Structures are given as C-alpha cells and as structure tokens.
Amino acid sequence: MYHIVMQHIHGRARWAFFLAPLIMLGEVFCDLQQPTLMSEIIDQGLSKGDLNFVISHAGLMLLFAVLGLIFGGACGALGSYASLKMGEALRSHLLTVALNDRQAGSLPPATLITRITNDVTQMQNLVMMVTRGLVRSPMLLIGGVVMSIIVCPDLAPILFVVMPILVVFLLVIVRLSVPKYTAMQQSVDHINQIMRENLQGAKTIKSYVLEDHQHADFTTSNQHLQQTSQTAAMATVLLSPVIQLMLNLGVVVALGYGGQLAISNTISNGQIIAFVNYMIQITSAMIQTVNIITAFSRAITSATRVQAVLDMAAFQVAPAQVAAVADVKPHGSQIEFDQVSFGYQQSRPILDHVSFTVPDGQWLGVIGATGAGKSTLINLLTRRFDDYHGTIKIGGVDIQQMALSTVHAAVAVALQDSLLFSGTVRSNLTYGRPDATDAELTNATAIADAQPFIAQLPAKYDAPVEQAGKNFSGGQRQRLNLARAIVPTTDILVLDDATSAVDQTTNAAIKSRLREQRADKTTLIISQRVTNVIDCDQILVLNNGRLEAIGTHAELMQQSPFYRQLVTTQLGGAPDANA
Ligand SMILES: Nc1ncnc2c1ncn2[C@@H]1O[C@H](COP(=O)(O)OP(=O)(O)O)[C@@H](O)[C@H]1O
Ligand SMILES: [Mg+2]
C-alpha cells in the first residue's frame, strides 16, 4: 500500500505528505502545554492571589492555543493537498490501465468502477488520516503519559490501571470490526455489479420475466451488506461509551484519591486538574488510534483491489514505449503476414503460423466460422497486441517499426460491434479525420447507406447521438460505424463483419459502391458469409486459427474441400463469381 501511495505522490504533493506530520508535532507540543499551564495558574496564581501571574499565564495559554490552531490548520491543508493529488494521479493511472486492457474483461467494468472511485477515495482518506493522525495520536498518547507522570507522580498509578484495560478493550474492537469492513467492501462491489447488470440488461430481464429472480438476488446481497455493516458499526458504537466510562471512573478516582492527598498537602489542586486533563487527552488519542487502525484496514483492502488493476498493466505495452520506436512510413499498402502465431493466453494459441500476402490495391476476403480468429488477425494488423510470433508488414515495413499513429493512419477498421459515443452524428463520423468536409461526410454516408436516415434527421450531421448511440437502431448504428471507417479514406480499409445487421440487398449495394470508390485500394472484407467475399481478388479461408486455403473463388472451389463444403452449406450449390 505504501508503494501505491508513494508511486502516485510526486513533487510538491510528496513534500506536503512528509511535511504535514512534522508540523503536527508542533500542534501536539502546544496541546500538551495547556494542562500544565492551567495547573500553574491554579497553584501559583489563583491560590496566592497573584493576578499578574494569572494574566501572563492565561496569555501564554492563548498563545499556545493559537499556535496549535495554526499548526493544525497547516497540517490539515498540506494533508488534503497530498491526498487530493495522490487521488488524482492514481485515478488517471487506473483509467489508463483499464483503457489499455488487452484481456478485455479480465476485470468486469462494475469492479473497475468501484475500484477507480470508492477504493481510491478510501486510500485518499488514509493519506489524510496518516498525515494528521499517525504522528498526533501516538505522540499525544506518549506525551500525555509522560507529562502526567512528571506533573503528578502520585496519581500515576491510576493510569497504570485504566490504560491496560482500555488497550485490551480497543484491541478486541479492532479484531471484531476490521474483518467486517473487508466483507463490507466486497458486498458493496457485488451490489454494484448486480445493479449494473440489471440496468444494462433491463430489456433482456423484462423479456425473460426475470424481475423476481433478479430482485431476490439483489435483496440477498443487500441483506448481507446490512449484516456486515451492523456488526462493524456495533463494534464502533461500543467504542465511545466504554472509553467514556473508563475515563470518568478514572476521573472520579483521581478526584477522590487526589482530594485526600491534597488535604494532606501532598499534592496541589492544580496538579489534580492537570492530571485529569492529561487523562482526557490520552483517551481521545486512543479513540483516534482506533479510528486510524480501521481506516488502515479499509485502505489495505482497497489497496489490494487497486493493485490488482495496476497489475493488469503487466500485460500491456505502455503507449510511451510504443511511441519510442523509430517511426518508419510504409511504402504503399501491401500487407504481408509471415508465419504469424498468437494467443491471448499463452496456453491457448488462436493463430497458428499464418502466412499470406495482399498485393497493393487488392481486395482480400477472409472467411471462417465464429471464433476462427478473423478478428484476431485484424487486432494484430492494427497493433492492438504486439506479443505475436512472426512478422507483419504494411507497405514493406514491419509494423513494429511504425508508430501506432502511422499504423492507424494507414488502416481504418469498421468493427461489427464498435460503439457510437455521445455527441453528434458529425462528431462520431469524424474521429478518424477531424477536418472532414460535409461533402466527404456525404460521400461516406452515401456509400454506407446512411444517407436515407440522416436526411430525415432535422439537424442532419449535427443531430445528437445519445450514450452508446441508443437513439439509433442497430442497423443505423452499423451504417454510421461503417461510414466512420470510410471517411478518412485510408490506404487500407478493413470491414470486420461490418454489415451483419444490414439486409442482403442493401449489403450488395454498399459493396458495389465501395468497389467503385476503392477499385485500386487495398480492402479486407471479413465475413462468415460466402456471398460477401465471393468476388474478392483472393479469399483466405481460416479454420480454427490455421490458414486452410487461399485463392480466388474458382481456385478454392477446385482445391479446397473445406471451402467447397462451406459454399454448399451456405448457397446450396456452386454459383459463379458474379452471383
Ligand atoms: N481479448 C481476448 N482475450 C482472450 N481471448 C480472446 C480475445 N478476443 C478473442 N478471443 C478468443 O480468440 C478466439 C478467436 O476470436 P476472434 O478472432 O474474435 O474470432 P472471429 O473474429 O473469427 O469470430 C475466440 O476463441 C475468442 O474466444
Ligand atoms: Mg470477429
């Protein structure tokens, strides 16, 4: 945990983090002066009627009070600063890691959200607490004990009875409550997850009439949270009254026994008062210590959960590292895969020694069943993953020699399921090219068959798009998504199942318009449907991560039984390439 905190406190925040506890020493010192000063006022001022002494010492008390306030305020300000800066740095680090996640889904979004918000807040609280309390409580405790022994050695035995009882009691409380706080955190996480699933899946839940089931699940989790919170709270609630009781008993004994001693003139009234005040300081320091320990335990749970997110970075290539390689520009748009093998997990290879070449300007169709590795091929081409074996070249240049921005300037991809973001139609269409003109947008949307419905929107390109494109139908979203990939007119265009939600006739129209537009530009059409790839210059047949065959439709019909089988199942015969 210390490691996470230190990693995210830099520069001035780090100074503040270490300076704050030092300043706190000042406040503790001032606080410890008060009871002694008061006893002196009583013993040497009031009882002897020395008004000057009373006034000068009262002034001194005021001075220490003001100084204490200043020290306390400064410590608080520095502590908040350090804690806010730490939270800011940690959150942005977590967000970067989460966005770069390659294992997509290794931590569900619900957990990520609680970790980035709630858990970071816990850690922020801890930094705050630590800068203030870590020095204050023990110092006040030790200082209080030492001072009371110095000021009033005769009453010290009372402390030696009261303190051990309190310490044992506090340890019991800590033991009881700490595991409950851990359990609480887990419950909160689970509830968040259920909430999220319910809200996102509201339609599915309704259509399968799962409301009762989901509700029962939710209720169970809530009850669990309630029980753990109750036990944790019980322990904490006991804390204050028990300590007060012990304190008051101690005060009664101090007054009674001290009174006896005072009558026999062994100690003075002022000493008794000072002793009582030190006892109050000591017990309040103890309560603070318990609070810090619980905050610590909560923060440790949070830190472990935050660390798990940070650990995901081990599988990621830092963007800085990617940018650091020399940036070579491709010469043309030929694509070469040479003996490329890859697996998302070491244990499970997805692509197995795949080699092929798409000459400049050719159209390549990629066909294969779901899970064959088609999209994985594109993930590698766009450098979403770098830990593959073999070589991938664009325009004769190894893509590892190119900056990510160069790769993305060369290749545009329309995915089956890519998201629209909240904004406008225009803002969604111009991700790949912020300066695209309306004419270019119209050209792209016409190809993608998005014109008909955009034309009906009152605000046209400035029509609003809601979160995740909710205000458009699935087919409309896919058309916008396709247009978005066409707008930048890159040398290479990849359509990865990008027309699956579009009907056959429209699909054919889109393809023929695209053909006109990109007659001499390298284009990859990825699909499960033979009709989508049948007229490509080459068709690559992918079967379970292996390259089954590559060639024109006619060649494959002759040479590949696997392809022939595919065609027969889908088309029921052997159509010619113009079908
Ligand atoms: N990010 C990922 N992490 C782990 N496994 C993945 C990931 N993406 C895809 N896979 C797995 O890789 C295999 C190939 O997936 P994919 O290339 O998407 O297939 P296709 O596009 O041909 O349907 C599938 O078995 C899938 O479960
Ligand atoms: Mg796919």
| Cα 140 to middle of ligand 2, angstroms | 64
The ligand that comes nearest to the alpha carbon of residue 106 is 1
Kindly report the protein residue whose alpha carbon is nearest to atom 24 of ligand 1: 371
Going by pLDDT thresholds of 50, 70 and 90, the confidence category of residue 315 is low
pLDDT for position 540:
93
Question: CA angle at residue 531 from 529 to 537, to 5 degrees?
Answer: 110
Helix axes 269-311, 211-263, angle to 10 degrees: 150
Contact 107, 309 (CB under 8 A): yes
| Cα 96 to middle of ligand 2, angstroms | 25
Measured distance CA(283)–CA(244) in Å, rounded: 8
CB of 368 within 6 A of ligand 1: the answer is yes
pLDDT for position 101:
65
Going by pLDDT thresholds of 50, 70 and 90, the confidence category of residue 113 is confident
Which amino acid, one-letter code, is at 174? Answer: V
Helix H, strand E, coil C: the string for 257-318 is: HHHHHHHCCCCCHHHHHHHHHHHHHHHHHHHHHHHHHHHHHHHHHHHHHHHHHHHHHHHCCC
Kindly report the protein residue whose alpha carbon is nearest to atom 18 of ligand 1: 375
Going by pLDDT thresholds of 50, 70 and 90, the confidence category of residue 573 is low
Given ligand 1 and candidates 354, 376, 381, which is best to mutate, with the most ligand atoms within 8 Å of its CB? 376
Contact 566, 367 (CB under 8 A): yes
From the list 544, 570, 567, the residue with the least C-alpha distance to 556 is 567
Give the residue with greater pLDDT, 210 vs 540. Answer: 540
Going by pLDDT thresholds of 50, 70 and 90, the confidence category of residue 577 is very low
Position of tokens 């200082």?
Answer: 143
Contact 329, 410 (CB under 8 A): no
Domains in the chain (CATH in brackets) are 2-315 (1.20.1560.10), 321-571 (3.40.50.300)
Query: For the residues 419-446, what does the mean pLDDT come to?
Result: 83
Give the residue with greater pLDDT, 447 vs 417. Answer: 447
pLDDT for position 151:
84
DSSP 331-375: SS--EEEEEEEE-SBTTB-SEEEEEEEE-TT-EEEEE--TTSSHH
Helix H, strand E, coil C: the string for 118-138 is: HHHHHHHHHHHHHHHHHHHHH
CB of 431 within 6 A of ligand 1: the answer is no
Whether the per-residue pLDDT at 185 is higher than 60: the answer is: yes
Contact 36, 44 (CB under 8 A): no
Measured distance CA(17)–CA(476) in Å, rounded: 53
CB of 479 within 6 A of ligand 1: the answer is no
Measured distance CA(195)–CA(213) in Å, rounded: 13
Whether the per-residue pLDDT at 320 is higher than 50: the answer is: no
pLDDT for position 366:
93
Query: For the residues 126-142, what does the mean pLDDT come to?
Result: 86
Give the residue with greater pLDDT, 210 vs 164. Answer: 164
Q: Mean pLDDT, the chain, as a whole number?
A: 84
Whether the per-residue pLDDT at 367 is higher than 70: the answer is: yes
Q: Is 316 exposed, middle or buried (0-12, 13-18, 19+ CB in 10 A)?
A: middle
| Cα 373 to middle of ligand 1, angstroms | 6
Structure tokens at 120: 């970071």
Using one digit for the tens of pLDDT, what is the confidence trace for 514-567?
A: 888 888 899 999 988 888 888 889 999 998 889 988 989 889 888 889 888 888
Structure tokens at 36: 């002694």
| Cα 371 to middle of ligand 2, angstroms | 7
- Dmax (CA) for the chain in angstroms is 120
Give the residue with greater pLDDT, 328 vs 109. Answer: 328
The ligand that comes nearest to the alpha carbon of residue 540 is 1
Query: For the residues 274-280, what does the mean pLDDT come to?
Result: 88
Locate the ligand 1 atom nearest the alpha carbon of residue 542 and give its number.
22
User: What pTM was estimated for this model as a whole?
Assistant: 0.63
The ligand that comes nearest to the alpha carbon of residue 371 is 1
pLDDT for position 80:
92
Per the DSSP assignment, residues forming a β-bridge with 411 are 492
Q: Specify which of 81-95, 107-121, 201-215, 291-305 reaches the highest per-range mean pLDDT.
A: 81-95
| Cα 148 to middle of ligand 2, angstroms | 75
Residues 6+ apart with CB under 8 A from 352: 341, 545, 546
SS3 at position 412: strand
Given ligand 1 and candidates 375, 379, 544, 548, which is best to mutate, with the most ligand atoms within 8 Å of its CB? 375
SS3 at position 413: strand
CB of 103 within 6 A of ligand 1: the answer is yes
**HSE, side-chain direction, 13 A CA sphere, residue 439:** 0
How many angstroms from the chain centroid is the CA of residue 179?
24
Measured distance CA(571)–CA(555) in Å, rounded: 17
**HSE, side-chain direction, 13 A CA sphere, residue 76:** 7
Lowest mean pLDDT among 117-126, 392-401, 459-468: 459-468
Which amino acid, one-letter code, is at 429? Answer: L
Going by pLDDT thresholds of 50, 70 and 90, the confidence category of residue 74 is very high
Whether the per-residue pLDDT at 438 is higher than 80: the answer is: yes
Given ligand 1 and candidates 101, 102, 341, 344, which is best to mutate, with the most ligand atoms within 8 Å of its CB? 344
Whether the per-residue pLDDT at 122 is higher than 60: the answer is: yes
The ligand that comes nearest to the alpha carbon of residue 416 is 2
| Cα 497 to middle of ligand 2, angstroms | 7
Measured distance CA(449)–CA(235) in Å, rounded: 65
CB of 346 within 6 A of ligand 1: the answer is no
Per the DSSP assignment, residues forming a β-bridge with 358 are 335
Q: Is 319 exposed, middle or buried (0-12, 13-18, 19+ CB in 10 A)?
A: exposed
Going by pLDDT thresholds of 50, 70 and 90, the confidence category of residue 224 is confident
Q: List phi, psi (to 5°) of 235.
A: -60, -45
pLDDT for position 524:
93
CB of 376 within 6 A of ligand 1: the answer is yes
Whether the per-residue pLDDT at 67 is higher than 90: the answer is: yes
| Cα 376 to middle of ligand 1, angstroms | 6
Using one digit for the tens of pLDDT, what is the confidence trace for 20-36?
A: 989 988 998 998 888 88
| Cα 256 to middle of ligand 2, angstroms | 84
CB of 81 within 6 A of ligand 1: the answer is no
Measured distance CA(497)–CA(532) in Å, rounded: 9
Measured distance CA(380)–CA(378) in Å, rounded: 5
Measured distance CA(540)–CA(116) in Å, rounded: 43
Locate the ligand 1 atom nearest the alpha carbon of residue 496 and give its number.
21
Whether the per-residue pLDDT at 317 is higher than 60: the answer is: no
Lowest mean pLDDT among 203-212, 247-256, 358-367, 388-397: 203-212
Given ligand 1 and candidates 99, 107, 312, 350, which is best to mutate, with the most ligand atoms within 8 Å of its CB? 350
Residue 373 φ/ψ region, left for φ over 0, alpha for ψ in the -120 to 50 degree band, beta for the rest: left
CB of 456 within 6 A of ligand 1: the answer is no
Beta strand pairing call for 523-527 and 538-543: unpaired
CB of 344 within 6 A of ligand 1: the answer is yes
Per the DSSP assignment, residues forming a β-bridge with 342 are 351
| Cα 492 to middle of ligand 2, angstroms | 18
Whether the per-residue pLDDT at 314 is higher than 80: the answer is: no
DSSP letter at 487? T
How many angstroms from the chain centroid is the CA of residue 516?
45
From the list 19, 285, 290, the residue with the least C-alpha distance to 146 is 285
Lowest mean pLDDT among 58-72, 249-263, 308-322, 546-560: 308-322
> pLDDT above 70 covers what percent of the chain?
95
CB of 374 within 6 A of ligand 1: the answer is yes
Per the DSSP assignment, residues forming a β-bridge with 464 are 424
pLDDT for position 454:
84
> pLDDT above 90 covers what percent of the chain?
13
| Cα 481 to middle of ligand 2, angstroms | 15
Which amino acid, one-letter code, is at 81? Answer: Y
Q: Please count the other Cβ atoms lying within 10 Å of the Cβ belonging to residue 348.
A: 8
| Cα 338 to middle of ligand 2, angstroms | 21
Lowest mean pLDDT among 117-126, 250-259, 309-318: 309-318
Locate the ligand 1 atom nearest the alpha carbon of residue 344 and give its number.
4
Residues 6+ apart with CB under 8 A from 378: 413, 494, 496, 524, 526
